[in-house]
Amino acid sequence: MDAKKRRESSGLMDLHIHTNASDGEPTVDEVLEMAKAKGLSIVAITDHYDPFAAGYGSQSGNVFDDKALEKQLQWRDQLPDDDDSLTVSIGIERGPIPVRLAIPSIQPDFVIASVHYITSKIPVERGQLFDERYWRAYMGEALRVVSGPQVDVVGHIAGYLPMGGMLFPGSTFEERREMEREIDSRFFSRQWYEDVFRAALANKTAIELHCATRTPRIDMVETGLEMGVRFSVGSDAHNAERVGNVAWAYDLIQSLGAGRQALWHPTAHADADLRSAGTRR
């Protein structure tokens, strides 16, 4: 099966990818190339756009702003029309505070809002990872983001948790995921997830299936599906190799018996087929 056929039959989406315009490694062209190689039907570039946290996501020294967004939009609009089976979407990933997108002609197709930090000032100490007050504040913050303005997708609600100030240096990626699972099981109650899902339904917000951290946990995804929540699939790739690493989400959705209609996708610039499926911008 050639790449195009594979795309048409698979309908795979990866809606969360970073480039070298923020803290990722690949160029937009490298992302596109990999998206084609992996047979994706929709690929979305979603660089960090967060003027309230200048240091966040700018390890590369690149701070993403309107100019950078405009450049990506122009790049996308100038792509040759030779491959209509791959839709390229340009989103942004903001933090917990909405950002000012003041120029009408420079608007992302969609916004991922992620609680990369909590806005209430709660002192944290190294080694104090299981501070109930802090995680209650996080849960409140996430709930506000889900139901607030300027959000199409809430990113990694139970992964990449804001625990930087509490960790000793030197933990591995897997160790941090282990800590997150512990935080999740201690504090993130079913009640909270249900509140988040209800708010998501009321505000037509999608919840992300975050493939890099394999969150939210399976039983909560199942609950969300039962409640009618739509989920957005994202690898959160920061390098080209990880673009399209979305098997976890698709396997999960399938194993829970849910159809593709449970998956959210950006409608702007999507092909007619997808547009007629009728989702919200």
**Binding positions for Zn ion, rule: CB under 5 A:** 93, 114, 155, 236
Residue nearest to Zn ion (CB): 114
- By DSSP bridging, strand 231-234 and strand 153-155 are unpaired
Length of the chain: 281
Least separation in angstroms between residue 278's CB and Zn ion is 27
Contacts of 219 (CB under 8 A, 6+ apart): none
| Nearer to Zn ion among residue 7 and residue 238 (C-beta) | 238
| Nearer to Zn ion among residue 139 and residue 157 (C-beta) | 157
Whether 261 contacts 277, CB under 8 Å: yes
Name the E strands within 107-242: 110-114, 153-155, 206-210, 231-234
* Gap between the Cα atoms of 57 and 271, Å rounded: 31
| Nearer to Zn ion among residue 26 and residue 155 (C-beta) | 155
* Gap between the Cα atoms of 128 and 273, Å rounded: 50
Least separation in angstroms between residue 272's CB and Zn ion is 29
Q: Give 156: exposed, middle or buried? Use CB within 10 Å, 0-12, 13-18, 19+.
A: buried
| Nearer to Zn ion among residue 7 and residue 23 (C-beta) | 23
| Nearer to Zn ion among residue 39 and residue 155 (C-beta) | 155
Query: What stretch of H or E contains 146?
Result: helix 132-147
CA 184 from centroid of its chain's CA atoms: 18
| Nearer to Zn ion among residue 9 and residue 171 (C-beta) | 171
* Gap between the Cα atoms of 91 and 9, Å rounded: 25
| Nearer to Zn ion among residue 155 and residue 224 (C-beta) | 155
Least separation in angstroms between residue 197's CB and Zn ion is 20
The two tokens of residue 9 are: 């039959």
**Side chain identity at 119, as an amino acid letter?**
T
- By DSSP bridging, strand 231-234 and strand 13-14 are unpaired
Closest residue by Cα to residue 239 from 30, 97, 48 = 30
Least separation in angstroms between residue 188's CB and Zn ion is 17
Least separation in angstroms between residue 38's CB and Zn ion is 18
Least separation in angstroms between residue 191's CB and Zn ion is 25
| Nearer to Zn ion among residue 7 and residue 18 (C-beta) | 18
DSSP-derived secondary structure letter, 237: B
Least separation in angstroms between residue 236's CB and Zn ion is 4
Q: What angle do CA 263, 193, 185 make, to 5 degrees?
A: 115
Least separation in angstroms between residue 156's CB and Zn ion is 6
